[in-house]
Amino acid sequence: MQNKDWSEDYLKRMIVEQRKHMWRDDTIEMYSRWMGLKQGMTVVDAGCGLGYLGWTYWKYFSEGGKYCGVDKSSDLIEEACVMAEEWAQGGKVSFQQGDAYALPFPDNYADWTMCQTLLMHLEFPERALAEMVRVTKPGGLIMCNEPDNLSASMMVVDFSENDVADDYILQRHRTMMTWVRGRKKLGHGDFSIAVKLPMMMYDLGLVEIDSRCNDICNFVQPPYETPVQKYRMETAKKYIEENEDDQRRHKREFKEYFLAGGGSLSSYYRSMKKADQINEEYRKMCRDNLENGTWYRSWGASSFFCIKARKATWGLLPKGVPGDSTRR
């Protein structure tokens, strides 16, 4: 299986639609103070996609500042340039095709280097992080917005009062652990990268490491009137109406990761049989509840982190430097 191509339609829709409800405006406002953003900053966004982080934080650095997005997909870069004409209104913005493992900037170039849902897809996240550190000025800021999707898999509550639900949720979590291990083993990234990042940052000699969690609680409930509720309803409908091709694609991907993670073929078929049965019942329940306007579901918190750190001004000490007793 190839690593994902984010310019494919179904994935691109995700980095447009899902992003509209990803962070609250007041959270971004608070983060801008927490991170000490200033007008005039030079900003690098690694794995920028369509430039989401650029337009989200633009007003906090754009006066005299510049935004430089880098992504490996030339299609996304092309589209990001067009979109930036609207949000940057002639401000200094550039996009270029490039690799997060070899960012096209000199050492100590940026005041702020950032990424969002990039490291979770990389085989060697620590190398990309080291590259982000390299291009950041001493004293400069590094920010990584990444998830811990494994913990999030335990949070789904649907109030279906279905007797099998408890066992199923536990079994599904175990299956998910195998899936996550397999995905990582195949070099497609760590779905729970967020919880490992503070230590990776420490190992790279970064300082002032701190982390916050997205405060969005995911639930959908009647009367489904706000924009975010409408979006979640749409997402639910898509899930219910998922076509057979998409279902097959998901199963193929699931099987490959599950087996690579150490799951056996027999446990795969057992899990699938159970999942098919539960999904069918669940889809029916959703369809009925959606029709009556009584559907309620909560995914709990997002488990989506914003982790920040600074590059030390006194130079980086590689791990294990003699005399540095604070390191492992």
Ligand X SMILES: C[S@@+](CC[C@H](N)C(=O)[O-])C[C@H]1O[C@@H](n2cnc3c(N)ncnc32)[C@H](O)[C@@H]1O
Which of residues 42, 73, 271, 289 is near ligand X by CB under 6 A? 73
Span near ligand X by CB under 6 A; candidates 111-119, 228-236, 244-252, 264-272: 111-119
Which of residues 41, 43, 68, 71 is near ligand X by CB under 6 A? 71
Query: Cβ closer to ligand X: 95 or 258?
Result: 95
Does 15 contact ligand X by CB under 6 A? yes
Which of residues 118, 150, 194, 197 is near ligand X by CB under 6 A? 118
Of the candidates 86, 19, 10, the one whose C-alpha atom is nearest the C-alpha of residue 48 is 19
Span near ligand X by CB under 6 A; candidates 31-39, 70-78, 249-257, 270-278: 70-78
* Separation CA 176–CA 122 (nearest Å): 19
Does 140 contact ligand X by CB under 6 A? no
Query: Cβ closer to ligand X: 101 or 202?
Result: 101
Q: Least distance (Å) from ligand X to the CB of residue 328?
A: 28
Span near ligand X by CB under 6 A; candidates 24-32, 96-104, 237-245, 246-254: 96-104
**Residue whose CB is nearest to ligand X in the complex, by number:** 49
Give how far Cα 189 sits from Cα of 108, 202, 204, 325, Å.
27, 20, 19, 32
Q: Least distance (Å) from ligand X to the CB of residue 81?
A: 14
Q: Least distance (Å) from ligand X to the CB of residue 77?
A: 9
Does 242 contact ligand X by CB under 6 A? no
Query: How many positions of this chain bind ligand X (CB under 6 A)?
Result: 19
* Separation CA 161–CA 314 (nearest Å): 58
Q: Least distance (Å) from ligand X to the CB of residue 5?
A: 7
Q: Least distance (Å) from ligand X to the CB of residue 14?
A: 8
Span near ligand X by CB under 6 A; candidates 31-39, 42-50, 152-160, 311-319: 42-50
DSSP lists the bridge partners of residue 258 as none
Which of residues 31, 43, 44, 49 is near ligand X by CB under 6 A? 49
Q: Can you give the binding site for ligand X, defined by CB under 6 A?
A: 6, 15, 19, 47-49, 52, 71-73, 76, 99-101, 116-118, 121-122
